[in-house]
Amino acid sequence: MPAQGATEQTFNDKSMHSHIRAVDGLDKGRTRTVMGWTAETCSFIISILALGGLVATLLVHQGKPLPEWPQLVTINSIISLFSLLMRACVGVVLAEGISQCKWNLYQKADKLEHIERLDSASRGAWGSFTLLFHFRPRKAYYVASLGATTTVLASLLGFFSQQLVQFQNCLEEDATAFTDISRTNSYARTGAYYQNLEFGEYPPMVAAINVGVLQAPGDLTSVLSSGCTTGNCTFSPAGNASFSTVTISHSCEDVTAKVRIINQTAIHNDAATNVSTYLGLDYGNNQTYEWAKDWATGGTVLQSWIDSTYESIAIYFLSRPGINSFDWKVANCSLSPTVSTYEARIQGAQLEETPMGSVPIQGLDGQFPQPSVQDANLTQLNIDWGYSIATNYTIRNGVRESCEGSSKNASGLVMFPKSTDEPTYVNATGHTNPSAGWKWWYYPKDCIWSFRHASMKSIAETLSGIFDDQKVTLVYRGAASGSAHLQVLWNGGNMTANSVDVLMGQLATSMTTVVRTSSGVEPLGSTENNAKGVVWVNQTCVNVHWRWIAFPAAMIGLTGLFLLWIAFENRGIEKDRLWKSSFLAALFCEVDMDEKPVGKKEMGSVAKSTSVSLEGNSGGLRLAAG
């Protein structure tokens, strides 16, 4: 036992002797200050890496659906983990640095109460707040105050980190779903064939025309599209054309200014007996529609007639607001086949089509006259279609592509006339004639747009039955009598040029629906009709508010500044002299006082009135009263 006791005493003597040497600065081989802050430096570096990991995680998931992680792992828990790691690493630097400040403060005599404040500040946010409240103009206080401020900020890191992300509804592409919108490169529907190229009316088009006049078409989403089960689909990037299709377009103009006065004189027994005043409107091919300027009370308030040409159908509306008004108005509306381009999307289960341009489909005769030697191919094309054009571009999968074509035939190309200024014309069999202003060319199939002449005649037949030589007349007590279609248009005398345009637009939309969904055969070869789209599924996505990243970045920046400052302030102190938060230093110290307090309250009272400083000259550590 004595041997053991002797050994223990020897160890204690050596330990104390070594510590005293450190206090006196006698051990020249000890590692200097920089090595004394290795743990804190490593902690600071780890906090930076944690911040980088947080930023990287947010960048990866910004604007994307919530990741499919295990049920207990969420994006918020990952943020909390990084926040906890940052706060823990920063806490090491701050706690050790503030603790070292309390020893640095007593290099000169100062109040003993400061050691408790500094020690409390190293332990957490409340102690740090108390230290800031009792700030004193001392060098050690300046450094410690920076650490205390950062400690308070670090306590709020969890709250501010959670502000980084917000969850919102977003759309994600469903790669397994399929959606499309009806479109067509041609229309060839008619009723039954009679004789001599005469065709009957096509029932679906008859229904569409009647519905288009009598009521608004309504929502056409289910009629024109299919497969968009989520109610959110796109058919091209925003702002880009989605597709082109054959449509029926309308145009209306107020032609009242073209009405002229016609005076007619009645002759009886070679003498003028009466002069009547009429109004007249010239239209069509040298035709004039006339009516009495002062139609009697109870007469016609709305009259319509049709002038059907080869390329369009013109409808004229002559109207006045009431039987006692002679302020006649005339509107002219036309319907014609057109190639229309749209940007389309389905949003909230509603189809939205935005027009982006249109090109009229002209008659072939007007574009490409027969050469001196008749071209059989052109003749047959005229018989088959009548209205047909080739555009210089087409829309494929939402992308505009050129329709340049080729002078030679190839797979996927069809023969169609092309305007040219070349001096010679060569037909399909190689026969050469003087130039006809066009030549045969080979275009991609989806660059040709056609409307059968028989279909146009069938539509004109239906429209004539509704609008040609129809009228609305006011009868007993002002009741309107006559065509139901025109009564809708007259609208109780509230008919205007704008209301006519709106109704004809509804009519064109209704007719276009039939064209796009019941087109018939394709021109000059088959093409794939419908425009394909992308189905989007509602998801919960991560939205990052990057401005909140400034808080952890600022906290780590202040911690780095604090670490540099505290290391600089202790640059001349040996590693073993950097006691920091070690409680052993306090145990090995003794206070040089005559009477030592026992109670906590008494200790606080004495600490407020007593100044001490660290001394190590007597072979031990002492807090000497100053």
Q: Is the pLDDT of residue 44 over 70?
A: yes
CA angle 515, 516, 518 (to 5 degrees): 65
* pLDDT at 601 exceeding the cut of 80: no
Burial class (CB in 10 A: 0-12, 13-18, 19+), 474: buried
pTM of the model: 0.68
Number of helices (H), then strands (E), belonging to the chain: the values are: 18, 28
pLDDT of residue 567: 85
Average the pLDDT over 10-20 and give the result: 37
Indicate the residue type of 432: T
End-to-end CA distance of the chain: give it in Å, rounded: 44
Q: pLDDT grade, residue 33 (50/70/90)? A: low
Give the integer Cα–Cα distance in Å for 85 and 87: 6
pLDDT for residue 116 is more than 90: no
What pLDDT shows up at residue 511? 96
pLDDT for the residue 115:
74
pLDDT for the residue numbered 416: 93
pLDDT classification of 371: cutoffs 50, 70, 90? confident
Query: In a 10 Å sphere around its CB, with 0-12 CB exposed, 13-18 middle and 19+ buried, how is residue 143 labelled?
Result: buried
Is the distance from CB of 254 to CB of 329 less than 8 angstroms? yes
The mean pLDDT value for 156-179 works out to 89
What 3-state class would DSSP assign to 14?
helix
Express each pLDDT in 529-568 by its tens digit. Answer: 789 999 999 888 899 999 999 999 999 999 999 999 888 8
Residue tagged 């599209």 (tokens): 225
| Percent of the chain topping pLDDT 90 | 36
Q: Could you tell me the pLDDT band of residue 87, with boundaries at 50, 70 and 90?
A: very high
Confidence of residue 470 (pLDDT cuts 50, 70, 90): very high
CA pair distance 487, 214, nearest whole angstrom:
9
Residue of higher predicted confidence among 511 and 612: 511
Residue 153 has pLDDT above 60, yes or no: yes
Query: Would you say residue 329 has pLDDT above 70?
Result: yes
Confidence of residue 358 (pLDDT cuts 50, 70, 90): very high
Which region among 85-99, 117-131, 357-371, 506-520 has the lowest average model confidence (pLDDT)? 117-131
Q: What is the tens place of the pLDDT at every residue in 231-256?
A: 999 999 888 999 999 999 999 999 98
The burial of 593, by beta-carbon neighbours within 10 Å (0-12 exposed, 13-18 middle, 19 or more buried), is given as middle
Candidate from 169-173, 263-267, 328-332, 473-477 with smallest mean pLDDT: 263-267
- pLDDT given for residue 129 in this prediction: 85
State what percent of residues in the chain have pLDDT above 70: 76
Per the model's pLDDT, the better-predicted residue between 461 and 588 turns out to be 461
- Res. 381: pLDDT tops 80: yes
- What per-residue confidence (pLDDT) applies to 433? 62
Tens of pLDDT, residue by residue over 123-137, are 888 888 888 887 777
Q: Range with the lowest mean pLDDT among 11-20, 131-140, 144-153, 555-564?
A: 11-20
524 versus 548: which is more confidently predicted? 548
d(Cα 112, Cα 93) in Å, to the nearest integer?
24
Instruction: Kindly indicate the confidence band of residue 10, based on its pLDDT and cuts at 50, 70 and 90.
Output: very low
Report yes or no: 363 and 309 within 8 Å, Cβ to Cβ.
no
* 567-596 confidence digits (pLDDT tens): 888 877 776 667 776 666 665 566 666 666
- pLDDT tops 90 at residue 351: yes
Residues 246-265 as b or e (16 or more Cβ within 10 Å = b): bbbbbebeebeeebeeeeee
Other CB atoms within 10 A of residue 399 CB: 12
Which amino acid, 308?
A: S
Cα–Cα distance between 496 and 512 in angstroms, integer?
24
Q: What confidence score (pLDDT) does residue 614 get?
A: 62
The pLDDT of residue 376? 85
pLDDT at 59 over 70: yes
User: Which pLDDT band, with edges at 50, 70 and 90, does 263 fall under?
Assistant: low
- The mean predicted confidence, pLDDT, of the chain is 81
pLDDT at 595: 63
Average pLDDT for residues 377-399, to the nearest whole number?
90
* Angle ∠(210,212,215) on CA atoms, nearest 5: 95
Whether residue 46 is predicted with pLDDT greater than 90 in this model: the reply is yes
Query: How confident is the model at residue 434, as a pLDDT?
Result: 62
Q: Evaluate if residue 604 carries a pLDDT over 80.
A: no
Instruction: Give the residue-averaged pLDDT of 596-609.
Output: 61
